[in-house]
Amino acid sequence: MLGLLASIFLLIGASCTKQLPTTDNQLPTNSGEPAANTRGEGNADAGSSPVTNATPPPMEALDPAVALPIADYASRRTLKAHGEYIRDRFSGYHLGDDIEYVDVEAAVPVQAIADGTVVRAARVSGYGGFVSIEHVLDGKTVIAVYGHLDFGSVSRKAGEVVTKGQTIGNLGQGGTAETDGERKHLHFALYEPTSSSDRRVNGYESAPAGLATWLNPTDFFNTYRQPVPTPSRTFDPATDRGGDIFKLRFAIPAGMEVEYVPSLEALNVFTVAGRGTARERSQVFIRSFDASSFLTLSTVTLHSTETLTVGQGSYDARRYDIEKKAGVADFVDQPGWRNGRHIVTDFHDATGLDRYYVVAAHPDLDPAAYQSVLDSMVIEE
């Protein structure tokens, strides 16, 4: 468990203790992790300089520079996070985090994340009530987007000022004009405008390059001392996207979420923090196939194989150390690491007929974290 926690700690990246000096004048240099969360880091103790004479104050001693826009931000971000590829009513890379309140009848207030000025408060197609607010933090302008509000409850007009934590309105009711027919949820997104006329309402970008002009809210909140520590939760086939294909229950590790990949009918488990698309942050990739026995693709070299059991049902399993053969084209829509050497574990329910699940691990993923996902597997038929 300790190994898992340590791994998640590193995966999440920016954190208080990691960035504090181990001595008076030296920052730790042994993380071995790429600088994944440096965008927008403006607080004094998050610099990348390896040596500094200034001892930053303990982060706990500082008030958070920003507020979260809604209660339960971390625990209710279960359906669409920043960077997930979505194909439903909309398609493209989801720019915000969606915070779900479909099970809550009562009014859910939404707060301004910082002092700022309202850029737009209007009814917008695809959202219902829409509010965007401009903030200046450490000299940098950022615009926060709040979608699916009950416009009748929105208390501020364009040009008016708001203060950090001030309620700006309530979530709209699901399935009504208040949300343009959407679920009761907050779509929260952030971008750094490229000019004074850069005013955006889009919720998706069609290409990964477009995503690069938006901020990952998790990285933003970490930077401004308002961390969003995504807890571990269980993938539920009844409520999670892809659950109609994957009749599985399994533990999504802390700090990670799941993206359904419609083009491959696959599940991608990714770190919520970090730059780029969810695919680029992939840690575990899950596919399935129907067959009468274990099989591997002719496109990969098999370095070794072992037989084992995994999951709550002690399912028959095989683990493979595989590597895509030279000359074989990269796998379309899969994470980049799938094209290099890595471990996959296939399992199936001996009482079922022919559905096999393939759980592949990023080569740098802590084996304990990978095993915890496998250990938690339950096949629901």
CB 255 within 8 A of CB 272: yes
- Judged by CB under 5 A, the residue of 82, 135, 156, 187 near Zn ion is 187
CB of 96 to Zn ion, least distance (A): 5
CB of 94 to Zn ion, least distance (A): 6
- Rounded distance, CA 135 to CA 158, Å? 13
Per DSSP, the three-state class of 281 is: helix
- Rounded distance, CA 244 to CA 260, Å? 11
- Rounded distance, CA 108 to CA 76, Å? 13
Residues pairing with 307 in the sheet: 318
CB of 265 to Zn ion, least distance (A): 22
Nearer to Zn ion, 98 or 240 (CB): 98
CB of 70 to Zn ion, least distance (A): 13
- Rounded distance, CA 195 to CA 141, Å? 10
Nearer to Zn ion, 133 or 361 (CB): 133
- Residue identified by tokens 């575990």 is 284
Footprint (CB under 5 A) of Zn ion, residues 286-345: none
Residue 77 engages Zn ion in binding (rule: CB under 5 A): no
Number of residues that bind Zn ion (CB under 5 A): 3
User: Within the chain, how many helices (H) and strands (E) appear?
Assistant: 5, 22
CB 320 within 8 A of CB 304: yes
Q: How far is CA 354 from its chain centroid?
A: 32
- Rounded distance, CA 137 to CA 43, Å? 10
- Residue identified by tokens 């994944």 is 36
Residue 41 engages Zn ion in binding (rule: CB under 5 A): no
Identify which of 155, 152, 148 has the alpha carbon closest to the alpha carbon of residue 125. Answer: 148
Region of 28-36, 180-188, 235-243, 270-278 interacting with Zn ion (CB under 5 A):
180-188
Nearer to Zn ion, 98 or 100 (CB): 98
Region of 181-189, 219-227, 229-237, 322-330 interacting with Zn ion (CB under 5 A):
181-189
Region of 90-98, 173-181, 227-235, 291-299 interacting with Zn ion (CB under 5 A):
90-98
DSSP structure string for 302-322: EEEEEEEEETTTTEEEEEEEE
Residue type (1 letter), 126? G
Nearer to Zn ion, 98 or 349 (CB): 98
Region of 14-22, 82-90, 187-195, 206-214 interacting with Zn ion (CB under 5 A):
187-195
Residue 97 engages Zn ion in binding (rule: CB under 5 A): no
CB of 98 to Zn ion, least distance (A): 4
CB of 30 to Zn ion, least distance (A): 38
CB of 88 to Zn ion, least distance (A): 11
CB 322 within 8 A of CB 341: yes
CB 308 within 8 A of CB 317: yes
In the complex, residue closest to Zn ion by CB: 187
Region of 30-38, 65-73, 89-97, 301-309 interacting with Zn ion (CB under 5 A):
89-97
CB of 128 to Zn ion, least distance (A): 12
Query: Distances in Å between the alpha carbon of 116 and those of 112, 149, 272?
Result: 8, 18, 26
Residue 98 engages Zn ion in binding (rule: CB under 5 A): yes
CB of 286 to Zn ion, least distance (A): 23
Judged by the rule CB under 5 A, the positions of this chain that interact with Zn ion are 96, 98, 187
